[in-house]
Amino acid sequence: MILAIDVGNTNIVIGCCEDKNIKFVERISTKPDNTVLEYAVSFKTVLELYGIDPKSIGGAIISSVVPSVTYTISEAVKKIVGVEAKVIGPGIKTGVNIVIDNPAQLGSDLVVDAAAGIAEYPLPLIIFDMGTATTASVIDKNGNYLGGMIIPGVNISLNALTAGTSQLPKINLVPPKKVIGRNTVDCMKSGILFGTAASLDGIVDRIEAELGEKATVVATGGLAGSIIPYCNRKIILDDELLLKGLIVIYNKNL
C-alpha cells in the first residue's frame, strides 16, 4: 500500500492506494508551525479512522507547494510509516513533457495533476484545480504541458470582497435558489457560485479556440464540488486526481 500526500497552501490532501484502488481521500489543514510529531499524529489518526495499519504501508510520495513544511511532512511520514517518502522535484521522473518558458516554475501539484490527466483521460485536456487559487492547466493532443492560467480562488475572492466593503457580510457557499438574487446574501452567493462557473465555461471556450479543437475538461480540488455543478460546459469532477497522479509518478520511480 502507498501513502500519497499533497501539501497545498490551505489543505493537505492525504490518501492511500493499493493496486490502483484508492482507499480514501481526506484533507487536513496546512499549519506551517506544526511540528513533526503534530503532523505524525494527524496522519496516524486519519489512517486509524480507515482501519489502516501503518505497517501495511510500503511506500510514500509527497508533492508540496509549501517548501517550508515539506521536510516536516516527510519526517512525519517516516515516523509513522517507517519509510523514506519520495518527494516530487528534481530527479523524479514524471512522464510529463513541460514546454512552458521555465519548466522549473511549474508547481508540483500541477505536474501531478497533469501526470494523472494524461494517464486517465483523452487528450487534449484542460484541468482546473480549485484550491487557494484556481489554476487551469492545458495539455495538448501529444501530451505536452503547454501552460495555463492562475486565477484568484473562490475563498480569496470572497475574503477580498468582504474585507474591502463595510456592509457586505461573510457568507457560506450554500447556493441561492435563483441566479437573480433578491437580497444581499443571495446576490453574493449568486455572484461567487454562478459567476465562477460562468468564468470556467468562458475559459474553456477561449482555450479550445486557441487549441483549434475540443478538449476533455476535468476539475479537482477542495472547492471544485461547489462550483462545477453550475457550469454549462461538461466538466468531469475528479476529487482523486492528485492522488492518482502521485501514484502514477511513484510507479515511474520504482
Instruction: Out of 19, 33, 101, 109, pick the active-site residue.
Output: 109
Separation CA 21–CA 26 (nearest Å): 15
Residue 17 near residue 1, CB atoms below 8 Å: yes
Residue 44 near residue 51, CB atoms below 8 Å: no
Instruction: Give which of 47, 54, 199, 218 is closest to 124, Cα–Cα.
Output: 218
Separation CA 156–CA 56 (nearest Å): 39
Residue 100 near residue 43, CB atoms below 8 Å: no
Q: Is the dihedral of CA 8, 130, 126, 151 positive or negative?
A: negative
Separation CA 216–CA 35 (nearest Å): 41
Residue 149 near residue 125, CB atoms below 8 Å: no
Active site residue 186: no
Strand order in the sheet with 144-152: 97-98, 144-152, 133-139, 125-130, 216-220, 236-237
Q: Where are the alpha helices (DSSP H) in 35-127?
A: 36-49, 67-81, 108-120
Catalytic residues: 109
